[in-house]
Structure 1
């Protein structure tokens, strides 16, 4: 199928614990309203906070859409900035999900590497978006928390050879509104797509300018 449009899939999580309204899914729905421009097909999905659902849903999203980029968004009660996660981790999943389930192995992919990094340079994205004056504070992290966020990220990175990203957002109103988070996600994703297109353009070029 020849399609000139870029395909992007963005997920947010459903309710869990004290997060009866999950800021990540609200922010993703705001992003959907804004869109990523005429050249990008954007698909969004809500992900239940369940290990076994992630095991089936994330591979099916990659298979169904074959996106150039998949971005997962999660909420962190500790976050006060929009946080770009550099990598996903394979081990240490001890917390029960919303179905009171936890993997027996406490790992994501048995025999997989301990850590998989995104091909996207999150430090660069952070600097570029901050410089663009999006009005939201950004930071970069190497620890997505060893819960469903980290688990989903690792699963996606493993399936896509690193062509995935994870963004943590703070709870709504602490300090940002849904609209501000949606605008921030849009700015971040557009920079990620720009960086990916440049890296693909440089594939056949030995000289880095």
Structure 2
């Protein structure tokens, strides 16, 4: 199974981004049944559509799994849905700050993940890694990425399964944000391996509640 894994460069004044730091380790992994390619992306609304389409055309993955930073979240967040809205609280790294713009003009309002999010949730719980199913990937570049890969899978590259994972701050990042939760890169790497193995092994997701009241 060919898998494309993506991460992002630092943004928002941070000097590092754990999602990009995961890429070298994951590129060198040997996981039975998986052929892994990685892509570190710029935090740029204008650049990621071309880069994603070009890379998917070249790699021809069967799965695309994106990783991004959600500073302040206490756990690995398995995203359920991508929405067709950009509402940037801060500028991207190219200085662009779209407000209430579509990711894809005239595209569907939203796309759901097509990886087994509930089985992935259980997989991380079983190895003791904090994890949740998230009902919102935000309205910044991570959500745009998630929406774009699902849109490409729906319109250009049928059959690709797509998902997106948000990771917390690293401990050294959390030190600059009083009271913020964090997770080590080693734990994130263990989580990524388990998530990939679950995607490899599970085609039909399990029936398990992971909803939210608000």
- Which of 140, 149, 171 is equivalent to 1:147? 140
| Contact 1:30-1:179 at 8 Å conserved across structures | no
The Cα shift of 1:155 comes to 0.2
1:194 maps to what in 2?
A: 201
| Contact 1:83-1:169 at 8 Å conserved across structures | yes
The Cα shift of 1:104 comes to 7.5
| Contact 1:129-1:191 at 8 Å conserved across structures | no
1:202 maps to what in 2?
A: none
Q: Equivalents in 2 of 1:120, 1:50: separation in Å?
A: 25
* TM-score, normalisation: structure 1: 0.84
Structure 1 residue 100 corresponds to structure 2 residue 98? no
Q: Equivalents in 1 of 2:202, 2:30: separation in Å?
A: 15
Q: Equivalents in 1 of 2:99, 2:170: separation in Å?
A: 33
Over 3 Å counting, the alpha-carbon distance change for 1:14 and 1:86 in structure 2 is same
Superposed CA RMSD? 1.9
Q: Equivalents in 1 of 2:99, 2:190: separation in Å?
A: 39
2:212 maps to what in 1?
A: none
1:171 maps to what in 2?
A: 169
2:20 maps to what in 1?
A: 25
| Contact 1:9-1:42 at 8 Å conserved across structures | yes
The Cα shift of 1:27 comes to 2.4
2:192 maps to what in 1?
A: 185
Q: Equivalents in 2 of 1:156, 1:26: separation in Å?
A: 21
Q: Which structure 1 residue ranges, 5 or more long, are not aligned?
A: 1-5, 200-209
* TM-score, normalisation: structure 2: 0.82
Q: Which structure 2 residue ranges, 5 or more long, are not aligned?
A: 155-159, 172-180, 206-214
Deviations 1:116-142 (A, max 9, x none): 0012231232023312x1x32111112
Structure 1 residue 138 corresponds to structure 2 residue 131? yes
The Cα shift of 1:185 comes to 0.6
